[in-house]
Amino acid sequence: MQRRRTGTIAVVSALGMTAVLGGCGLTGDSDGVTLKLVAADYGDSKDNSSRKYWDELVESYEAKNPDVQVDVTVYSWNDVDRKVREMVEAGEAPDMAQIGAYSDYADKDLLYRADDVLSIPVQADFVSQLAAAGQVNGVQYGLPFAASTRVLFYNKTLFDKAGVQPPKSWDDLAEAAEALEEKGVKYPYALPLGAEEAQAETMQWMLSGEGGYTDDVGTYSVDSPQNVTTFTWLRDELVGKDLTGPVAPGKLNRADAFAAFAAGDVGMLNGHPSLMKMASDKGVKYGMVTTPGIDGESKNTLGVSDWMTAFKKNGHRDEIGDFLDFVYSEENVLDFSREYDLLPVTTSASRTMSTAPEDENLKPFLDELLLSELYPVGKTSWASVSADVKKRIGQAVATGASPKEVLGQIQATAMKAGSAE
């Protein structure tokens, strides 16, 4: 099927709005098709609402496709996954949903395959790591929509006062944290293992210790020797020496750690691109380096992707495909990525961004994308495992705790959940 690509859009968007936003561009022939799309909100205020992004994108699309109307409803990230689940359970699945996970729906045969809806050039354009992460049993169902990676942010002013250099290894990081602590820095290293996003910080540290949630063949290995070593080091060398701040890691959420960095109270922490704007807006002079690893710079970093899904329920395969080909045009992917300081999910847009002067601030993250590993989102068990990580992992670094025992408990959850796949 030949897909139509039309012009670029001005992208403006927003995270955190709990109200439902919808009714985008509902004009056209009464005999046409209306596609229902549920999307997540990416910004931080009404001024950069996702409604504006989708309004403009849909208006542009409908101008060239008068027989197809696209009705968009936007929810905050706090609500969008739950809202879509409720719609599906009520037998009212949307045509498309831009959400945080896809594998449960794919496992129940509710989704179109990527090659059912996308033209060959568009599907082939996805960044390889992201396309692979969108697969269940070798078949792609999850279409990457937005991506990010992690690097180590450090406060240049605090580092200068402490007389230390950006760390390359765990030992470097511990030495820098000690020097920062001696200068009275509130959080020498912020270690957010609280319930909000503990699975991210956990995986970043696992990767830096040459471990991960799964082994080379995709089997859960949460309590591997490498992971036990990593969390034992965190317990003894950072938390046990009071180098992670006044809030216990298990109680510290990622958003609070980012806010503390932007307030100038954090020496260093793992962060994604949105932290750049937060820090700059508060006048914090920061630097970014590759995440320190056990013996030097980490060989891998955490990659994260959000997902677009296409549901079979309403049978609008061709119309869904044509609209998604438009969404994934190079121009639109670039506009979206630049507006939100996110990474393009397509190779063509990534190639353009890597050489564009206006995107220089995102280049450290873009460079990491090809070395990144993503959560095992293709496993239907991942939701249960991720929830258990959020619940337990903070205990692994508590004084007197046994990292091996805590990781073993999470591994038991993983094996039980995985046995049903």
Q: In 237-361, which ranges are E strands?
A: 266-271, 286-289, 301-310
- Whether residue 4 contacts residue 329, with contact meaning beta carbons closer than 8 Å, is answered with no
DSSP helix, strand, coil percent of the chain (3-state; round to 5): 45, 20, 35
Q: Which part of the chain is CATH 3.40.190.10?
A: 33-148+304-373, 151-290+381-418
Q: At 5, is the secondary structure helix, strand, or coil?
A: coil
pTM here is: 0.83
151-290+381-418 has which fold?
D-Maltodextrin-Binding Protein; domain 2 (3.40.190)
pLDDT at 31: 66
Residues in the chain with pLDDT values less than 70: 1-31, 44, 421
- CB burial of residue 398 (10 Å; 0-12, 13-18, 19+): middle
**pLDDT digits 0-9 by tens, 57-115:** 999 999 999 999 999 999 988 789 999 999 999 999 999 999 988 999 999 999 999 99
Tell me the CA distances in angstroms from 318 to 131, 144, 315, one per residue in order. Answer: 21, 19, 9
Q: What is the DSSP string of 334-374?
A: HHHHHHHT-B-SBHHHHHHHHH-GGGGGGHHHHHHHTTEEE
33-148+304-373 has which fold?
D-Maltodextrin-Binding Protein; domain 2 (3.40.190)
- How far apart (Å, rounded) are the C-alpha atoms in residues 46 and 128? 34
